[in-house]
Amino acid sequence: MTPLTPVITAHWDEPDYFTLEGYRRFGGYRALAKALTMEPDAIIGTVKDSGLRGRGGAGFPTGLKWSFVPQNDGKPHYLVVNADESEPGACKDVPIMMANPHALVEGVIISSYAIRAQHAFIYIRGEVPQAIRRVAAAVREAEQAGLIGDNIQGSGFNLRVTVHSGAGAYICGEETALLDSLEGRRGQPRLKPPFPATHGLYAVPTVVNNVETIANIPWIVNNGVEWFRQFGTEKSPGFKVFAVSGHVNRPGIYEAPLGITMRELLDYAGGVRGGDGTVKFWIPGGSSVPMLTADHLDTPLTYEAMAEAGTMLGTGTPMVFNNTISVVKAVTRWLEFYKHESCGKCTPCREGTYWITGVLERFEHGAGTDPDMKLLEEVCGQIAGRSFCALGDAAATPYPAALKYFRDEFVLATHTPVDETFPPVAGYVFSEVAAR
Amino acid sequence: MTLAPQQTSVQPVDSVTVTVDGIDVRVPKGMLVIRVAELMGIEIPRFCDHPLLDPVAACRMCLIEIEGQGKPQPACAVTVSDGMVIKTQRTSEMAEHAQEGVMEFLLLNHPLDCPICDKGGECPLQNQAMTAGRPEARFEENRRTFPKPINVSAQILLDRERCVSCARCTRFAEQIAGDPMLELLERGAQQQVGIGPDAPFDSYYSGNTIQICPVGALTSSLYRFRSRPFDLVSTPTTCEHCASGCALRTDVRRGVVTRRLAWDDPEVNEEWNCDKGRFAFLYNADGRLETPLVREDGELRVASWPEAVDIAARGLAAARGRAGVMLGGRLTREDAYAYAKFARLALDTNDIDFRNRLSSDEEAQFLASSVAGRPLGPTYADLESAPFVLLVGLETEDESPIIFLRLRKASREGRIRVQSISAVRTRALDKMQATWWPCQPGNEAWALRQIIDGPQGADALAGLRQPGAVILVGERLAAVPGALSAAAALASATGAQLAWVPRRAGERGALDAGALPALLPGGRQVADATARAQVAAAWGVDSSVIPTAPGRAAAAMIDAVLGDRKRGDADEEPSVKALVVAGLDVEDYPDADDLRRALDAVPFLVAVSSHHNEVTERADVVFPAAVVAEKAGSFTDWEGRVRPFGPAIREASSVADGRILGMIADVMDVPFGSGDFASLRAELDALTPSTTDRSAAPTVSSSTIQAPGSGYALLSTWRLLLDRGRLQEGEPHLAATARPTEAVMSRATAESLGVANSATVTLSTDSGAVTLPLSIGDVADGSVWAPLNSEGSALLGIGATYGSVVRVTGGAA
């Protein structure tokens, strides 16, 4: 059994860990002191060597991303933290910001120093005001302690940090839409190239990183590449904040090395709750990645193994479904989400999600047809790879995977409403509700 | 300024080799794939792509395959690189399939109202649905609908359910016009084009959005439901409004002009025009003169052409040598030339003036030395590539909207610095990121001299000394003594190119045609014997036939008529016994009452006009003239570029001015020719440009103007693009998009005049007053701006014009 490896989450049970004092008591901001004695390029090199991959979903190597920022170009640089966690099923960035905001702040300062940014922005999802307040408070504390501001700890490095609240759009988690939103425009993805590394916020070099990615930085700087690489695999080094949710007995945050299996995480989470106690299907990291079944419980949760299994690690927030759940219904809910959140910019995503949702809603009411199954596959195929950004691609993933593993349920839904084949009452949490 | 031909330097271009559908082609590096395909004649379907807008890659219709890329790529956003292998829908199943998919998506929610849609028959969606669409729809769900239509302005209507969200209109508004009031709202399938609350799409260029809309989502109040495209007969034409010289397409339905579109001329208007050019054409049909009229017993009555021609010829023959010609600024080049020739040959006079506006002898001298008969240039392309442009007495958006678009284009690309010497910091200046030099009206000459002499002019001086710099002067500098002299001196001192931008379409052509007292066709000087001999030879007459006596400008002609009358000396022959007046609106003349008195007093008045007006009602003989849409002709734009056009209404029975003069001259037995369009054009082309000597630039000295007394302000004013102009009559939707009629002054001025808290102010002169809402803005201290000829602000009617001192009081008079 792979042991859990609490690093970012190690001291979350300390009541004051979210304060500067609490964070410092357990070694907080030592990495910053060390980083400020290093050459910025050396920090980029360390992060590169560590093999840290972006924790926002795409898994792009962080150090490589940083090295794309042109240096000595006479322009301001910006670091933007993507804290717009809105993926259905994903709940890891908000807990990190709530329980360990200073790890994020320390990471922001070190990362900014490395890429020569003098202004960093933390773009937080607008629906979580408590996280915004907490991060803002941590930034304020750090400012008062001289960790943010002019000439930080006598290093000559100046930094301002701005905490910005989103206004409730999933698309603003897409990095270029986030930049547009941050600039005060309507959040829609930008044409790439040019990429943010050269033309990002206000058209200057910008690095956009996920909260968890940045929160990893202090530990990597403090403990070094060797230490970091002892966790995980060659291609997926390090540890990951796995947020397990759905039909499990102990949903929550489990920090473990990459490469742990879902079966192990399920054990930590107390096994499947409800239904017949088995996993019907699960998603490794948000609704944007194709679903897997009980057959894949022993597949390592790494970027490469998930890709091999036909899915993606995504945000690394597995969601588990027991046998009381209709796949048709689950997919319909997800597609309704994408239809609602499609920004409207490109045709395939805007119109395709509208179409798929309409057809799926018919299936949900037992009014799908046999040709509709094929049609939906084709429509998904016409969205994936044709849309402007990854939102369209994501919207096209749930249905094909569901059809692959659970074709029978769609056939059932050509004549019987899913609420009859899968009575919602069977999945209710409280037995007394079920009894009524 | 230099007369040397322009150097055309060919820049070496890095080129790359790419393969499109199996064909190797060498193209400039960085070109978009879709443009490369166009060059090769391969049409990739598209909606959001527009060559003059930034790529957005939103519609995804142009997806093509690029070898080595797993997914189809948008041809409108991918630039070519060496060795790229591109497969369009013609050779790639992936591309064809992707395009079919996008087309199917686009049609999901698109209403099937093609039979009643204005765009039906000329609709890119309709056309491309035929090539890339499926024969049958597979979509069975409910279509998204919106209440229809909504007004995004008084003129522009939006049917949201037809929209395919290509964002051409919103990008045009933001990128080209700089009026970002049109925006995409909401998201997903609910995404729609819209405006802010109480913030309509207030743009002089709004009509272009209709034309570039690839579906029928945007329509105009004027054209909506009026016609089907296949019932229209289209003619390439030139806009008759301002001197920008826009290429247009005029669409005629059953002999009536029904629609006008901007036509594509990359050298001039690119693919744009202004709303006046697009929507102001209803005058073509309304209030026209249909037959000649003659005065009998004090009343005008209908007459036959031979009778009217006979009366006119006899009257003018009797006044030969004592007749003058007054013209408006909108005659075609050929017609203006006909008047210039008619005056010299038939009337034996140099008394001819096309400037029915503020004018001066200094201006005439300036036009003769620096503008008339000059070859092309500076051009729009010169403006676009200029490092520095100085505007003096010219409000580009109102007075030459395409100049504004070019300057904005260059400023958006960061290549140009624009500075403006003006009393008002206008919206246009901000949209060009221009530097505003506050200058009281009348102080322009002083300001221009400051560039060379004054300490604060160093920046402009350095700018003007850069190769390619341009000075643009507007026609209202004629009202400022010394200003045109100073502009000419500044241009020759710095080497900057100098261009005069008149406001009316016909002025530059009339100037080149010799419709000024001291000028013969081609910018030749009347005083120059060689020039007279050249013109006489072209006209087939002896050079002694061309009068040598100096001619009189409009004001002097009016004085001559009125002076004779005032003297009341029966023995003295009046020096002007007859006037020929054509295409002229009395209200446009700065002292309209003087002009009216002169028209009343002159013993014999011939009017040539397309419409009934104050001239025709005073005339002894009236000839109905063809409007621009009914005849062939040309205008010369501000660049000096000849912009020819053919008749849009071919079945019109009206007659062009030149032909009318030909008939009169024939009866007078003057060797004028028939006055038909083709021979007039051939003669004028042969006379242009001139190689004779030019006169020297004027050197009128200037002094700074006196500050107005307490309670008074200096008036800065010009005509707004959309105002009371006669040619805009009959189009209420267009009129409703005019900018507000208001008086604007700085806070300091308002306070010193004691009107800062007034909602309205009254501007008054000895002759009258107008009351306007007061707006506080960036206006040079001591001055007030108000529109010259807008509803409720007809300033010429109270004797106020550019640089006048007006009394300013709070509230109504």
Spell out which residues of chain B touch residue A340, defining contact as CB-CB under 8 Å. 188
Closest CA to A376 of A393, A346, A404, A400: A400
Mutate to test the interface with A, among B61, B65, B105 (most CBs of A within 10 A): B105
Q: Which residues of chain B are modeled with pLDDT < 50?
A: 1-5
Co-location of B494 and B403 in the same domain: yes
CB contact under 8 A, A350 and B188: yes
Binary contact (B189, A186; C-beta < 8 A): no
On whether residue B635 sits in a domain, the answer given is: yes
Domain's final residue, options B643, B670, B687: B687
CB-count exposure of residue A187 (10 Å: 0-12, 13-18, 19+): buried
What one-character-per-residue DSSP string does B707-733 give?
A: PPPTTEEEEE----SSSS-GGGTT-HH
Q: Does A358 touch chain B (CB under 8 A)?
A: yes
Which two structure tokens, joined as six digits, stand for B8?
Answer: 């055309």
Distance from CA of B248 to the nearest CA of A (A): 32
Nearest to A344 among B56, B106, B187 (CB): B187
> Minimal Cα–Cα distance from A286 to chain B, Å?
21
How confident is residue A431, by pLDDT bands cut at 50, 70 and 90? low
Of A342, A359, A362, nearest to B188 by CB-CB distance is: A342
pLDDT of residue B12: 66
Point out the domain boundary residue: B502, B522, B549: B502
Of A348, A362, A381, the CB nearest to B60: A348
For residues B378 and B433, state if they share a domain: yes
> Does B486 share its domain with B408?
yes
Q: Look at B105 and A355 and tell me if their CB atoms are within 8 Å.
A: yes
Contacts of B61 in chain A (CB under 8 A): 347
- E strands within B198-267? 218-220, 233-238, 247-253, 256-262
Domain that holds residue B403: 367-502
Chain A: nearest CA to B749, how far in angstroms? 36
Could you give the C-alpha distances from B571 to B568, B598, B777, in angstroms and in order?
9, 20, 58
| Confidence at residue B745, expressed as pLDDT on a 0 to 100 scale | 97
- What is residue B2's predicted lDDT score, i.e. its pLDDT? 41
Candidates B407, B420, B537, B506; CA nearest to B778 is B420
Q: Which residue of chain B comes nearest to A388, CA vs CA?
A: B58
Q: Which residues of B179-217 are buried (b: 16+ CB within 10 A; e: fewer)?
A: bebbbbeebbbbbbbbbeeeebbbbbbbbbbbbbbbbbb
User: Which A residues, 259 through 298, put their C-beta within 8 Å of a C-beta on chain B?
Assistant: none
Is the Cβ pair A375, B109 closer than 8 Å? Answer: no
* A107 contact partners, CB below 8 Å, separation of at least 6: A214, A215, A216, A217, A218
Same domain for B438 and B334? no
- What domains lie within chain A, and their CATH numbers? 20-224 (3.40.50.11540), 239-321 (3.10.20.600), 327-427 (1.20.1440.230)
With beta carbons under 8 A apart, name residues in chain A contacting B101. Answer: 348, 381-382, 386
Q: Do B460 and B390 contact (CB within 8 A), yes or no?
A: yes
Q: What count of residues does chain A have?
A: 436
Are the beta carbons of B48 and B167 closer than 8 angstroms?
yes
Q: What is the per-residue pLDDT for A166?
A: 95
B1: how many CB neighbours lie within 10 A of its CB?
17
Does the beta carbon of A87 lie under 8 angstroms from any beta carbon of chain B? Answer: no
Helix (H) or strand (E) holding B566: helix B554-567
In this complex, is the C-beta atom of B412 within 8 Å of any C-beta atom belonging to chain A? Answer: no
Dihedral sign for Cα atoms in the order A11, A14, A17, A21: negative
In a domain, B700, yes or no: no
Residues of A in contact with B104 (CB under 8 A): 382
* pLDDT score at B1: 39
Is some CB atom of chain B closer than 8 A to the CB atom of A40?
no
Determine whether the interchain pair B188/A359 forms a contact, defined as Cβ–Cβ distance below 8 Å: no
Note the pLDDT of residue B5.
47
Residue B9 pLDDT = 55
Of A191, A340, A385, the CB nearest to B188: A340
C-beta of residue B269 within 8 angstroms of C-beta of residue B244: yes
B307 and B409 in a single domain? The answer is: no
**Could you tell me if B543 and B662 lie in one domain?**
yes
The confidence score (pLDDT) of residue B95 equals 97
**A241-272 pLDDT, tens per residue?**
999 999 999 999 999 999 999 999 999 999 99
Contact across the interface for B60 and A186, Cβ inside 8 Å: no
Residue B9 domain-assigned (yes or no): no
Which residues on B lie below 8 Å from A339 (Cβ)?
188-189
* B717 & B774 share domain: yes
The percent of residues in chain A predicted with pLDDT above 90, rounded, is 96
Outline where DSSP puts E strands in A275-326. Answer: 281-283, 292-293, 319-321
Q: Is residue B127 a part of any domain in this protein?
A: no
**Domain count along chain B:** 5
B80 near B30, Cβ under 8 Å? yes
Write the CB contacts of B297 (distance below 8 Å, at least 6 apart in sequence).
none
Residue of B nearest to A170 (CA): B187
Find out whether B625 and B656 touch, Cβ atoms under 8 Å. Answer: yes
**Do B256 and B315 sit in the same domain of this protein?**
no
* Shared-domain flag, residues B682 and B791: no
The HSE-up count of residue B91 (CA atoms within 13 Å, CB side) is 14
User: Hey, are the CB atoms on B188 and A348 less than 8 Å from each other?
Assistant: no
CB pairs under 8 A between A and B: 99
Q: How far apart are the first and last CA of chain A?
A: 41
Burial category of B567 from C-beta neighbours within 10 Å (exposed 0-12, middle 13-18, buried 19 and up): exposed
Among candidate residues B214, B201, B261, the one with its CA nearest the CA of residue B76: B214
Name the minimum distance, in Å, from the CA of A393 to any CA of chain B: 11
Assign residue B418 the CATH number of its domain: 3.40.228.10
Which pLDDT belongs to residue B479?
94
Residue A116 at interface with chain B, using a CB cutoff of 8 Å: no
CA distance A210 to B733: 52
Q: For residue A435, what pLDDT is reported?
A: 53
Interface mutation target, options A195, A351, A376, chain B, most CBs of B under 10 Å: A351
Q: Do B191 and A344 touch (CB under 8 A)?
A: yes
Q: What is the pLDDT of residue A430?
A: 67
Half-sphere exposure of A105 (CA within 13 A, CB side): 35
Chain A 133-192, CB below 8 Å of chain B: which residues?
Answer: 169, 171, 186, 191
Percent helix, strand, coil in chain B (nearest 5)? 35, 20, 45
DSSP A18: T
Instruction: Report yes or no on B131 lying in a domain.
Output: no
Nearest to A347 among B72, B105, B138 (CB): B105
With CB atoms and an 8 Å threshold, state whether B61 touches A340. no
B63–chain A Cβ distance below 8 A for any pair: yes
Give per-residue pLDDT as tens, A174-221: 999 999 999 999 999 999 999 999 999 999 999 999 999 999 999 999
Q: Are B666 and B787 contained in the same domain?
A: no
Task: Judge: A342–B105 Cβ closer than 8 Å, yes or no.
Answer: no
> How far lies B555's CA from each of A323, B195, B559, B645, in Å?
97, 49, 6, 33
B333: domain CATH number is 3.40.50.740
Measure B142 CA to nearest chain A CA, in Å. 8
| Torsion sign (Cα): A196, A201, A205, A211 | negative
Q: Are residues B662 and B672 in contact, defined by beta-carbon separation less than 8 angstroms? A: yes
Predicted local distance difference test score (pLDDT) of residue B799? 92
How far apart, in whole angstroms, are the C-alpha atoms of residue B104 and residue B89? 16
Judge: B183–A186 Cβ closer than 8 Å, yes or no.
yes
CB contact under 8 A, B142 and A186: no
A353 interfaces chain B, CB cutoff of 8 Å: yes
Does the distance separating the beta carbons of A351 and B108 come in below 8 Å? Answer: yes
Residue B164 has a CB neighbour count (10 Å cut-off) of: 25
Q: What is the nearest CA distance from B432 to chain A, expressed in angstroms? A: 20
Question: Is B113 domain-assigned?
Answer: no
> Is B250 contained in some domain?
yes
Q: Span A413-424, mean pLDDT?
A: 96
Radius of gyration for the alpha carbons in chain B, expressed in angstroms and rounded: 28
Residue B194 maps to which CATH number?
Answer: 3.30.70.20
Calculated CA dihedral for residues B45, B50, B51, B53, nearest 10 degrees: -150
Distance CA A200, CA A186 (A): 16
- What is the pLDDT, as a whole number, of residue B572? 58
My answer on whether B318 and B447 are in the same domain is: no
Of the candidates B444, B469, B502, which is a domain's last residue? B502
Residue of A343, A350, A365, A376 to mutate when probing chain B, most B C-beta within 10 A: A350
Interface touch B189/A351, C-beta < 8 Å: yes
A425, two tokens: 């009452």
pTM exceeding 0.90: yes
CATH number at residue B68: 3.10.20.740
A346, B57: Cβ pair inside 8 Å?
yes
Q: List, as ranges, residues 68-107 from B with C-beta within 8 Å of A.
A: 70-72, 77, 97-98, 101-102, 104-106
Indicate if B432 and B559 belong to the same structural domain.
Answer: no
> Closest to B58 (Cβ–Cβ): which among A340, A346, A353?
A346
* Residue B234, in any domain of the structure: yes
